[in-house]
Amino acid sequence: MYLKSIFLGCLSFALTSLHAQDRTGFIHATMQENHAVELFHQFPQLIDIIESKNQLSAVYIHPDATHELHQKILSHGPGFIFHPDKQQAIQALDQPVGKWMNVTNYTLSESSFVYKAIDDVKADRIKEVMLILENFGTRFHTDPKANLAVQKVKELWEELIAISGRTDIHVRIINHVNTPMKSVVLTIDGNEKADEYVIIGGHLDSTAPDKTNAPGSDDNASGIATITEVIRVLLSHDFMPQRTTEFMAYAAEEIGLVGSKEIATTYKNQEKNVIAYVQFDMTNYQGSVEDIFITTDSYNNNDLNLYLIDLMETYNKTGKHALTYNYTKCNYGCSDHHSWAQKGYPTAFPFEASFSESSPYIHTASDRFTIVGHADHAAKFSKLGLEFVIEAAKTSNKMSLTNIHYKNQAKFYNDNQFLTIQLTNQSKVHTIKVIDAAGFTHLSKEYLASTKLDIRSLKSGFYIAILTDQLGETFTHKFRVY
C-alpha cells in the first residue's frame, strides 16, 4: 500500500502537468465501458471517451492511465486493446468476439505419448529460463532490452531444435507495425493435416510504472518458460504431429495486445485454420488452494475449456501428476488469447490462481523469481500444455508408436434424452456428475442403478460427464445437447 500511495501521488502530479500539455503519446483503444467511465471520472486529463456501444468504449488514452487501470480496476492484463487509429477503434465496438468458427471434434487418444512426456517435465529448466528473462531487468516494448530478450528466446528455441536434429521445425522473428519489439514463433510442421494449426502463446514483454525496472518474472517470464519446457519435452521425445503446431512469444501485450493482434489478424486474412489456441500468461504464483484456474469469460470457447477439463480429469486426477482446478474470470483485453478470439478462433486461458488471489507483485519491480515462488507451480502448466498439444495435434501416423486407448473400459452413447453408459470391466457406476464449461454441476448421481442418465433437463450446449466406478477408476465423456 505504501508503494501504491507513492505511485498515485506521482501520477497525480503527472496529471496536473499533462493537463496543460498537448496529448503526445496518446493512443486509440477499446475497453469496457464501465472501466472507461471510471477512469474518466478520476483522471479526465488522461482519457477521452470517443464513443460507447455494446458495453464497450472507444477511447483516446495516455499509456500512464493503463497502470491506474491495473491498480484500481483490474487484477490482470492491460484491460484494453490497441487500435492504430480512431476509425478502427470505433469499428471494433461492433466486432463480434469468439466462437462462430467450427472447431475440431476434440478427442483423447494419445495416452502412451502423453504419459512419457509429462514424466519428463523439469521445474529446474523452467526456473532457468525465468531467471534468464528476469535478468534483462526490463522487457518493456520500447526498451532495447526487449528485443535482446526476443533474440535470446529465439536462440534458446533454436538450441532445442539443434539438439533434436530435426529439419521440420523452424523459428522465425516477426516484425510489427505498431511496436519496435518483435515476436518469436516456433513451428513444427504437421504431416497428415498440415493446414490445421494448434497454437500455444504467451507475451514476452513486461511493464511497471518505472519502465526501466520491470523484471516481469511471473508476468510473463513464467509463461514463456512454461512454453519453452513444453517445446523441450516434445522435441526430446521426437514429437511429430499430424497438425501444424506453433509456439508464440509476443511483443507488446502490455500496451494493448499489439503483437498478438497483428499476428492473429494476419492468420485470419490468410484464412489459416487454427483449431485451438491456448494462452499461458502467469503460471508460477500459487495464490489459491487449487492449482489451475480455467477462465470462463464470454469470448473463450466452451468446447475448448471442456477439453482442458477432460485432459486434467484424465491425466491429472491422481498419482504423481495430480493437480486440482477451478474457475475464474478475467476481463476485456485480458491477454493475447483475446486477439485470437476476436478473429473467431477457439481460445482458452488457464491461469495460475483465482484472479482475486493472483500475484500482487505483477507490474512492479518486485515481480522477481525469489518473491513470486518456485517453478513447481509452473511445471503443472507445462504438463497441461503437453497434454493439450499432444492430444489436439495428435501424433503423426509416421511415428511407430502404439497408443494405449485408456477409454476402452467405458463407452458413452448420447441420444439427446439419455446418456447411456457401458462399462466393459463389469464394474458399476459409483458416482457420475455432469458439468458445463463454467464448472456448474447440472446433474449429480451416486450408485446409479440404471445404465442410463436422464439428460432431458439440460439446455443446448457442451457438457462433460465425469464418472467414477466402484473400482475407483475415473472416466470422462464430453458431449453436446442440441
Catalytic residues: 203, 219, 253-254, 281, 363
Residue type, 240: M
DSSP single-letter state for residue 458: P
Provide the grid cell at 211.
519502465
- The dihedral through the CA atoms of 322, 349, 40, 252 has a sign that is positive
Neighbours of 330 (CB within 10 A): 26
Residue from 428, 434, 432 nearest 469 by CA: 428
User: HSE of 191 in the Cβ direction (CA atoms, 13 Å)?
Assistant: 10
Residue from 383, 375, 2 nearest 218 by CA: 375
Neighbours of 454 (CB within 10 A): 12
Q: Classify residue 370 by burial, with Cβ atoms within 10 Å: 0-12, 13-18, 19+.
A: exposed
Distance CA 314, CA 325 (A): 13
Q: What is the DSSP string of 79-109?
A: SEEEESSHHHHHHGGG---S--S--------
Q: Classify residue 42 by burial, with Cβ atoms within 10 Å: 0-12, 13-18, 19+.
A: middle
Provide the grid cell at 5.
500511495
Which residues make Cβ contacts (< 8 Å) with residue 366, sequence separation at least 6? Answer: none
Residue from 172, 161, 184, 185 nearest 234 by CA: 161
